[in-house]
Structure 1
Amino acid sequence: MFKGSIVALVTPMTDDQQVDYQTLKSLVEYHIDAGTDGIVSVGTTGESATLPVDEHIKVIKATVEYAAGRIFVIAGSGANSTAEAIELSQEMAPLGIDGFLSVVPYYNKPQQRGLIAHFETVADCTDLPVLLYNVPGRTVTDMLPETVAVLAKHDKIIGIKDATGDMQRLADMRKLVSDDFILLSGDDDTSFEFIKQGGHGTISVTANIAPKLMAQMVSLARTGDFEAAQRINDRLAKLHTQLFIEPNPVMPKWALYRMGLIKSDIVRLPLVTAELANQKIIEQVMLDAGIIKIEENA
């Protein structure tokens, strides 16, 4: 459950900032064909912060329908209000999703005791499995390994997406949780090393652009073929970093637009589309990685 290469899927939009459901359907098919193991729908990369609750639920519902049981779908359900996280979870639970990804509450900077109370309360409201999500670069608050260990005892909390990029953090968590607690990387730049050191997979932004390569790399790393996995990871290394030269998901959307996989690179305000100089950087990285061809370079 919830292992392997999992894409943090973008939410495609039209030029007037409305969700493009036709393109969303084609993206789901693209990932199924590429061997992606699972989808996180309306997480950070899916612009959860700027989709109101009704639209958030509508996108999740559509993603589940398009996937049609061929690939697991995890719904982003995090909020900085426990009541809102509960509302989202309860509204989405009947939609056919396979579980939730719940981020550390942002902006209000809860204590570690507050994190425990928050996640236990959210997990108590559903029968579906919950993945924790620690991304202190966005939330400010860092969920410590000792806090994860307490939460791992809850029967609905089955794993964590850790985006710290800190391998010592992984080692510390492994000492404190059971072997069946799922440990997923949330940092593409260190995801290969994370799996090599005992992680179970990754929730990846890069997988939006290079799903087949990410699926292959993760599969090889999980089966212990580190040399072959390293070769693929080296090919993707610049993509891992340069996709974040502007706030996520600005660059992934532009890359997908450049590949012809989405019709517009529009992101919801207050984010705006990528600077021309950064577009050129990503285009060159994609050329170097063989994701687009030289003759396509405009």
Structure 2
Amino acid sequence: MKVDWSGVFPAATTQFNADFSVNIPATLQHLDAMIAAGVHGMIMLGTVGENCSLSYDEKLEVLKASVAHINGRVPVLTGVAEFTTATACRFAADAAKLGVDGLMVLPAMVYRSDSRETAAHFRAVAAASDLPIMIYNNPVSYKVDITPEEFAELADEPKFVAIKESTEDTRRITDIRNVCGDRFLLFCGVDDVVLESMVLGIDGWVSGLVNAFPAENRLLWDLAMEGRYAEAVEVYRWYTPLLHLDTDMKLVQYIKLANAECGYGTETTRPPRLPLISDERERVLGVIRKAIATRPVLTV
């Protein structure tokens, strides 16, 4: 199965009203801003999109509105992050009916599956629709690690087309290429190792901070893809304090605070995620505001 996924794919935030209800118009307005800045694809309902904080019906509401609004301008993927394999399969099938272009599938939530169970989960979700799949490997957050050798064993399923690699270990890029060749498209899923990953030959970047700094994300990507590494390093050094926010337990709150500071929505998250307060809030605001004040000139 062939797809044309490459470049910067935001893990888009889901916007909420003050009463924590889903704010569809604000979510769509934010998608427009990122598309206008030149992102290459969109991932709804990932970790940053607070997938597990939405009800099943709310997830479908967000997807339906997003697919219709984007209307083919860029590919739209949805996160599939459910507690059971059966529910993940049901969601994959329902997402396909809404017209999404692909799935970003996580292991089953909460339960720490072994390699046999993990493979069975992914294969079951693949069988539930005709959509291509990006397998999301994030053992730091979700405690399940899919090794390069295990990816090789999954290579016989044609719907598995891409890997979002989020181990925070850039050696995995080379290890996957050495074991699997070019069988899978490789996406970096950790913001503050992306330039290193681009040098090693990734196909795309699933980013969190792109929500607040979409033009700068595109600038960094373009510079690296053009081999203009001295300029890319300069942008990366400016960006890295922000990109570190993507690797914290509170990455959703941090990214949404950056969104608010940059004029892309509010910082409201659903409990159990609470607003940032006190020294932590001031520290993160300091990083964001310094970056805004010193952002690079957007020319390539």
1:274 aligns with 2:276: yes
How big is each residue's C-alpha offset from its partner over 1:41-61, in whole Å with a ceiling of 9 and x where there is no partner? Answer: 011100001111111111011
Counterpart amino acid of residue 121 in structure 1: A
Backbone CA RMSD of aligned residues: 1.6
Alpha-carbon shift at residue 226 of structure 1 (Å): 2.1
Equivalent-residue separation in structure 1 for 2:278 and 2:248 (angstroms)? 12
Q: Give the alignment partner of residue 289 of structure 2, picking from 270, 287, 290.
A: 287
Match of 1:28 among 27, 31, 40: 31
Higher mean C-alpha deviation, range 140-149 or range 155-164: 140-149
Which residue of 183, 202, 209 maps to 1:199?
A: 202
SS in 2 for 1:83: helix
Q: Which amino acid aligns with 1:284?
A: G
Mean alpha-carbon deviation: is it higher for 280-289 or for 85-94?
Answer: 280-289
Does residue 161 (structure 1) correspond to residue 141 (structure 2)? The answer is no
- Unaligned 5+ segments in structure 1 are 294-298
| One-letter code aligned to 1:271 | R
Contact 2:245-2:255 within 8 A present in 1 as well: no
1:128 aligns with 2:131: yes
Asked if the contact 2:81/2:109 (under 8 Å) is kept, the reply is no
Distance 1:244 1:273, change over 3 A: farther
TM-score by length of 2: 0.92
Aligned partner of 1:184: which letter?
F
Say which SS state the counterpart of residue 290 (structure 1) adopts. Answer: helix
**CA displacement 1:21-43 (0-9 Å, x = unmatched):** 11111101101111111111011
**Residue deviations 1:163-215, cap 9 Å, x none?**
11111111111112231511001100101111111111210001111111111
Report how many aligned residue pairs link the two structures. 292
Cα drift, residue 244 of structure 1: 4.5
Is this contact kept in 2: 1:78–1:103, CA < 8 A? yes
d(CA) in 1 for partners of 2:201, 2:75: 22
Matches within 5 A, 1:208-227: 208-227=211-230
| Residues 1-298 of structure 1 aligned to structure 2 (within 5 Å) | 1-245=4-248, 247-262=250-265, 264-290=266-292
**CA distance, structure 2, for counterparts of residue 97 and residue 15 of structure 1:** 28
Amino acid at match of 2:285: E
Q: Distance in 1 between matches of 2:62 and 2:293?
A: 28
Distance (Å, rounded) in 1 between the aligned partners of 2:77 and 2:44: 6
Residue pair 2:148, 2:179 contacting (<8 A) in 1 also: yes
- SS of the equivalent of 1:242 reads helix
Q: Which residue type is aligned with residue 191 of structure 2?
A: D
* Contact 1:186 1:204 (8 Å CA) reproduced: yes
Give unpaired runs (5+ residues) of structure 2. 296-300
Aligned to 1:296: none
The alignment's TM-score, normalised by the length of structure 1, stands at 0.93
Q: CA deviation at 1:232?
A: 1.4
Structure 1 Cα separation of the partners of residues 244 and 14 of structure 2:
21
